[in-house]
Amino acid sequence: MGKTVFETSAGGKFLAIRARLWQLPPMKLKLLSLSALLAVVTPVMAVEELLEIEGAPDPAEVAADAVGPGGEVPNDLLDDQSIRNELTVNKFTAPSISKLFDTLQFLMPLPIAEVERKMPARMSLDRADLGIELGFLIADGFLMVQAEQLEDVEKMASDLTRYGKALGTGDRVNRHAAGLLESAKKGDVPQLKKELSSTQRDVEDELVTLQDADLARLISLGGWIRALEVATVAVDKQFSPERARKVMRKDIAEYYSDCIAGLEPQISARPNYLAMRDLLEGLSTKMALEPGKEPTPETIKDIRRISARLVELALQRKQ
C-alpha cells in the first residue's frame, strides 16, 4: 500500500515488511494524526528496523488531513474501553465485531447449521483477502461461542494463529489463541467473548502501526457482513417487526459504504469491492424506515438476498 511491500509464502508465513512511512497517499494520512505517527515510528524502528523513512510531510497538512473516514462509527458499536485506549494513540477505529454480534442475543435461536461456513484450507496471498477472511473468522468465533459449541474452539484458535502470522500480527494473536483454549477448557463463555473482542482490537492496533489501517477496517467489514447474514436468516425464519428492526441499520450500511470508498484504489477499484459498495448503498436505502412504518417480511427477504450476495463478493479472492 503506497510504498509498503508485504510478502507471504504460499503457506501464509509472514516473511518481510518494508515500509516507506511518509510516502503514503492522502487517504492514508487521514487515518493517523501526526502525533500518532511520531509515537509509532521510534519504537518500531528500534526493535525491528522495518521502516525506511524518506523526507517528512508538512505538519500543518497532516494535522489538517487527520479527520478520519467520511462516515462515523455508530456509537453503539464502539467498544468503550478500547476506544479510550486507542484515542490516546491515533484517530482510527472501526466497529467492534463483538458489538455487532451482541444483536444476535436478541435473535435467538440462531440458524447455526444453515449458516455454517468453513475457512479455506489454503491461505490467500492477498492481504485484503486475509483481512476480510479474518473478520469472518472472528465473527464465526462469536457465533460458535453463542451456540456454546466449545469443542470447535481449538480449530478456531488454530485458524486465528494462521491468519495472524500471515498478517504479521502473530505474537498478539497467539496470546489470544492460548486464552481462547484455556477459557474453552473452563467453559467460560464470557471470557471467550472478551478474548475474541481483544483479538480484533490487538490486530487493528498492530495494523495501524504497520500503516495498514485499511486492512483493519476490512476485518470489521468481514465481521459485519457475517453478522448480517446470520441475523437476516434468523429473522426471515422467525419474523416479527421487533426482530426485524434489529437488522434495519441504515447507519451501519452507510458507514461501510464510506469505508470501501475510502480504501486505497488497489482495493476499492476491484470489481467485487465496487459491487459491494453499490449493494451497501442500496441496502442503506432499503433499511431506511419511514416514520410510523414497520419492516415487512418482504423487506427482510430482500435484505437476506443482498447479505448473501455480499458474502459471496467479500469472499472472492483476488485473481
C-alpha cell at 118: 468453513
Q: For residue 102, what pLDDT is reported?
A: 76
| Sequential DSSP letters for 136-185 | HHHHHHHHHHHTT-GGGHHHHHHHHHHHHHHHT-HHHHHHHHHHHHHHHH
For residue 317, is pLDDT > 90?
Answer: yes
pLDDT band at residue 243 under the 50/70/90 scheme:
very high
Q: For residue 26, what pLDDT is reported?
A: 39
pLDDT band at residue 58 under the 50/70/90 scheme:
very low
pLDDT band at residue 8 under the 50/70/90 scheme:
very low
Q: Which residue has the higher pLDDT, 6 or 220?
A: 220
Q: Average per-residue pLDDT in the chain?
A: 74
Residues 6+ apart with CB under 8 A from 264: 1, 2, 25, 27, 28, 214
Q: For residue 108, what pLDDT is reported?
A: 83
Whether the Cβ atoms of residue 307 and residue 227 lie closer than 8 Å to each other: no
pLDDT tens digits for range 107-116 = 888 888 888 8
pLDDT band at residue 313 under the 50/70/90 scheme:
very high
Whether the Cβ atoms of residue 107 and residue 234 lie closer than 8 Å to each other: yes
Residue in 244, 239, 212 with CA at minimum distance from that of residue 228 = 244
Residue in 307, 294, 200, 217 with CA at minimum distance from that of residue 30 = 217
Q: For residue 212, what pLDDT is reported?
A: 78
